[in-house]
Amino acid sequence: MRIAVVTYESKISYAATNVLDEDKILAEILTDLGLEFKFEIWSDTLVKWETYSHLLVKSPWDYFDRYSEFLDWCQRIKKLGIPVFNDIETILWNSDKRYLEEVQKQGFQIVPTRFLSKQQPFDLAEYFDVFKTDQLVLKPTVSGGAKNTIKLDREMWLSKKEEMIGLMATEDFMVQPFVKQIVEEGEYSYLYFNGKFSHAVLKSAKEGDFRVQHFFGGNISKVLPKPEDLNCLQQLVNAFAKNCLYARVDGVWIEGVFYLMELELIEPYLFLFIEEQAIPNYRGAIKEKLGLI
């Protein structure tokens, strides 16, 4: 057994902005299990992927900046037939947030969303009315870490129109009503390993911001979900992430209903520092995936 841990070419290190270096934790787990492994940069054309028995995708954090290249890499790996965690088909499906449409069609609630294709004529005034809101959030359908995520008020969107036209000339966007619960309460993240719940956090934005990511100054706190909440979330995981080594379910609760914002199945930060059992749960899931249990 020879494992490639898939990572990225760090120019401005995202890992340095995180509370805990989870690549290091993963290395410690694999070492403790007595496994041969090496961290490999997904975009490195010199890597001989066929020499590995398994690929464990952990931190390809620049895939959305090099999306066409990343899709080509996925297709090459798919042809090799090497077991990948999470599997390549799941990664391809999850790489564009249009997957939310399928989630909604299966009867799960998502934050109301409209998708705008690049270079498509648009009038944001229409969406203020459609969503009955005075604030919109726009983000690329292929993105991460709040890249190019923009919050607009009804009164000021015209001043941003040229900027939006420039951004939408090169990539597809999604438009949503601003969800006030994100500022008032926060965004929840529920972590699952091999389809089983492990731990959960609440991400709260710093004062004056709406981005909850900790590298934007957001606060991370541990939460203990209610059994009825987990029953609801388990249905979502069973439908779309049952066989995934890792899954992170991000969303908000509004009047007792969970609204999915993102289902992270490619390279989510796992918040392993927040709960004593998080790392053992992760370790056990890896052993199970690799057939070591």
The string of pLDDT tens digits covering residues 178-232 is 998 888 889 999 999 999 999 999 998 655 444 445 444 468 999 999 999 999 9
How high is the pLDDT of residue 148? 79
Do the domains 2-94 and 114-178 sit in the same CATH topology, yes or no?
A: no
* DSSP 3-state of 271: coil
* DSSP 3-state of 155: coil
**Residue 109's Cα: distance from chain center in Å?**
17
pLDDT reading at 125 higher than 70: yes
Mean per-residue pLDDT, 34-59:
97
Round the CA-based radius of gyration of the chain to a whole number and report it: 19
Q: In this structure, what token pair is assigned to residue 187?
A: 């965004």
The sign of the torsion formed by the CA atoms of 190, 191, 197, 200 equals negative
* Phi, psi dihedrals of residue 66, rounded to the nearest 5°: -135, 50
Range 2-94 has CATH code 3.40.50.20: yes
Q: Which amino acid is at 140?
A: P
- Percent of the chain at pLDDT > 70 equals 92
CATH number given to 99-109+181-273: 3.30.470.20
pLDDT reading at 244 higher than 90: yes
> Using an 8 Å Cβ cutoff, are 1 and 53 in contact?
yes
Mind listing the pLDDT tens digit for each residue in 89-99?
999 999 999 99
Question: In b/e form, how buried is each residue of 132-153, taking b as 16+ CB within 10 angstroms?
Answer: ebebbbbbbbbbbebeeebebe
Mean per-residue pLDDT, 35-41:
98
Instruction: Calculate the dihedral angle through the C-alpha atoms of 198, 202, 203, 209, rounding to the nearest 10 degrees.
Output: 160
Nearest CA among 223, 220, 218 for reference residue 200:
223
Residues in contact with 152: Cβ distance below 8 Å, sequence separation at least 6, in sequence order: 124, 135, 136, 137, 138, 160
Instruction: Assign domain 114-178 to a CATH class.
Output: alpha beta
The H-or-E segment that residue 177 falls in is: strand 173-177
Q: Give pTM, 2 decimals.
A: 0.91
Least confident of 84-98, 103-117, 192-206, 243-257: 192-206
Q: Which amino acid is at 163?
A: E
3-class secondary structure per residue, 67-126: HHHHHHHHHHHHHHCCCEECCHHHHHHHCCCCHHHHHHHCCCCECCCEEECCCCCCCHHH
DSSP state of 178: -
Mind listing the pLDDT tens digit for each residue in 130-165?
999 999 999 999 988 777 788 889 888 778 778 877
CA 62 to CA 41: how far, in whole Å? 10
Residues in contact with 42: Cβ distance below 8 Å, sequence separation at least 6, in sequence order: 6, 7, 8, 60, 63, 70, 73
Mind listing the pLDDT tens digit for each residue in 51-98?
999 999 999 999 999 999 999 999 999 999 999 999 999 999 999 999
Q: Where do the structural domains in the chain lie, given as residue ranges?
A: 2-94, 99-109+181-273, 114-178
Nearest CA among 4, 12, 5 for reference residue 62:
12
